[in-house]
Amino acid sequence: MTLIKSISGIRGTIGGKTGDNLTPLDTVKFAAAYGSWLKKETGKKELKVVVGRDARISGRMIQELTMNTLTGLGIDVIDLGLSTTPTVEVAVPIEKADGGIVLTASHNPKQWNALKLLNNKGEFLDGDAGAEILKIADTEGFDFAEVDDLGKITTIDNYIDRHIKEVLELRLVDADKVAKTKLKVVVDAVNSTGGIAIPALLEKMGVEVIELYCEPNGHFPHNPEPLKEHLKDICELVKKEKADFGIVVDPDVDRLAFIDENGEMFGEEYTLVACADYVLSKTPGNTVSNLSSSRALRDITQKHNGNYEASAVGEVNVVQLMKDNKAVIGGEGNGGIIYPESHYGRDSLVGTALFLTYLAEKGKKVSEIRNEYPSYFMSKNKIQLTPDLDVDGVLKAVEKRHLNEEISTVDGVKIDFPENWVHLRKSNTEPIIRIYTEAKSQQEADDLAQKMIKEIEAIIA
């Protein structure tokens, strides 16, 4: 059982001992730390925070603890109930709130939950804010409100519908054009809140929906990370129903994957590529993804005469570089679409609507669209290290061995070779180096990873 405290929030497994897991006491402590930070940061006497959750079994308990802790600090709460991460992000600025908390462990299994913390723009907190909250939690310097100053809870239960309306009003989303194509789509929402949001969006766009695991009861029928090895059921159902394609989202609906009409993975990395291809064809501009995402986005951006840049891994880093680079679209290769015309957060509703419009405009099958893009293959590995090893020194030694190549040290070491790349990152939570490679065949990607592992082992020896 695990409790992970990081600058982006607090996550852990439910039950067990305080301080080792996400227990009720740990939930209260970190909710109090966030609320206390907000009071200190804003200097305001009256504060408002938006709170929503995915459909995890522990979600209601964690939400009640979180909301009542905030009201105990004198903070008013907007309760969205069952929601999605992007819906909460959208709601924060609309409600003129001072912050937001999303209760979700994203793609982690059902025994996990987490408090994801947002600022007043509905964006994830930066590292400095996260570090300050952890410091407050450690000192437990909380000052709770007296009885006449307690906050109140206001419930708004239609925010997913409001979010869908916002998506449908986007300039590059054309529901009428999609409706004319009479598409049939299978949706796997892993029995979480995507089962509320995605079918509702599709129906508004005139799409026939076949639901698979769309009951938001928190009993995940398979590993909730939307990877090929977990998606056998939807792949088979797409073929059986002769559907046009399948849509898969993770429990909090910020990661998006497609299944083509043949029951084959479109490729999580290519969700962003396809959406970017469509957006760039209408609004030429720049793009951003992180250093561990596919080179295919760079290729598509250059095809449209735009500038591509890569950020450090982490959504907050992608968002900051998107702002700096004035990117018209960006995101992460795990199926996370960030479209600034909507908001600066990964959003599967936005990605779905953009892709459907693109599909309707192209008049092609999903597999045909995928075949238009350059094919790259990724390999993800890790090498275990001893706790006392100087990991930064190892990465520096690798960098020195490849000085003649294109190198980025924004986040670990990324080496761009002419035909492939390797990205080496140290873990923040365990003594390992993560090794990501990409090449034009799976064998080449695997071979490059093994070559780098041997090189690191030689440096250590």
Locus of tokens 């949001």: 197
Q: How far apart are CA 137 and CA 131, in angstroms?
A: 10
Compute CA distances 90 → 64, 80, 287, 341, whole Å.
21, 12, 22, 12
Q: How far apart are CA 283 and CA 292, in angstroms?
A: 25
**Catalytic: which of 106, 192, 292, 348?**
106
Locus of tokens 């986005």: 297
DSSP category for residue 145: P
Is residue 106 annotated as part of the catalytic site, yes or no? yes
Instruction: Give me the sheet containing 184-188, strands edge to edge.
Output: 208-212, 184-188, 245-249, 256-259
Taking residue 158's Cβ as centre, other Cβ atoms within 10 Å add up to 9
Taking residue 168's Cβ as centre, other Cβ atoms within 10 Å add up to 15
Taking residue 400's Cβ as centre, other Cβ atoms within 10 Å add up to 10
Q: How far apart are CA 197 and CA 212, in angstroms?
A: 13
Q: How far apart are CA 2 and CA 11, in angstroms?
A: 8
Return the active site residues. 106
